[in-house]
């Protein structure tokens, strides 16, 4: 049997039960309420189409484009040895342009000061063939919490069209914005009330079907 969602909810058990919503679950144990809080968190994330609670994921981006000012007509710019070797390698293989930028899917939509990244691993899957896992020193800057931007050190051999595979952890790990805590409380209370009112759930197949479609719509192909 698959394990239940092990995620961290946006609203803790203590935060949910310290107010009037605590009366809704006064007869339930903490594990049951915590499961509902995870469901509420996932529904909030589905509604926003982004991860918000602390997470760990792997995503793949296509390397495309470069600012011409960063590479073209740069023969007279001073470069360190790593950059020189990278540029020479690119020229030897016939690469006319390289990539220095990548943007992660997940970043802070608001309150970037409460967001953080950790355990970032970047693997380049080159369009020419072969892979390379970049060392931390090969990433010039990032990821930036407000944009998800990664900036690669000048001289990395990343031809346009390569794939950039990034494994990372992130989310509101420093603190959870109070508005998200409240949103999760409301969403969880909605789920609890649906469970406690059998007239609108268990005994009404049309309503159950409508509720299921509402949840599954976030997983539909766009």
**DSSP 8-state assignment for residue 124:** E
Q: What angle do CA 168, 35, 33 make, to 5 degrees?
A: 135
Q: Is the pTM of this model over 0.85?
A: no
Q: Residue 168: what are its φ and ψ, rounded to 5°? A: -160, 165
CB of 108 closer than 8 Å to CB of 78: no
Which residue matches tokens 């509402």? 214
CB of 161 closer than 8 Å to CB of 64: yes
pLDDT tens by residue, 55-105: 999 999 887 655 444 444 444 444 444 455 555 555 554 444 566 788 999
The CB density around residue 117, as the number of other CB atoms within 10 Å, is 20
The CB density around residue 184, as the number of other CB atoms within 10 Å, is 28
pLDDT tens by residue, 141-177: 889 999 999 888 776 778 777 889 999 999 999 999 9
- Pairwise CA distance, residues 74 & 191, whole Å: 59
């Amino acid at each position: 049997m698959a394990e239940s969602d092990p995620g961290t909810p946006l609203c803790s058990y203590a935060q949910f039960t310290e107010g009037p919503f605590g009366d809704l679950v006064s007869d339930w144990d903490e594990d049951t309420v915590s499961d509902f809080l995870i469901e509420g968190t996932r529904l909030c994330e589905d509604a926003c189409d982004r991860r918000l609670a602390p997470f760990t994921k792997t995503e793949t981006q296509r390397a495309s484009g470069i600012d011409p000012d960063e590479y073209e007509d740069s023969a007279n710019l001073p470069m360190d040895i790593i950059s020189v070797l990278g540029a020479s390698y690119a020229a030897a293989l016939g690469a006319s342009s390289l990539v220095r930028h990548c943007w992660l899917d997940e970043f802070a939509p608001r309150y970037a000061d409460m967001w953080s990244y950790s355990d970032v691993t970047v693997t380049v899957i080159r369009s020419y063939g072969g892979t390379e896992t970049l060392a931390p020193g090969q990433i010039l800057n990032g990821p930036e919490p407000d944009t998800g931007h990664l900036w690669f050190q000048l001289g990395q051999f990343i031809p346009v069209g390569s794939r950039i595979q990034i494994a990372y952890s992130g989310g509101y790990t420093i603190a959870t914005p109070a508005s998200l805590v409240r949103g999760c409380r409301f969403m969880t209370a909605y789920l609890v009330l649906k469970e406690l009112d059998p007239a609108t759930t268990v005994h009404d197949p049309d309503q159950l079907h409508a509720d299921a479609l509402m949840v599954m719509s976030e997983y539909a192909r766009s």
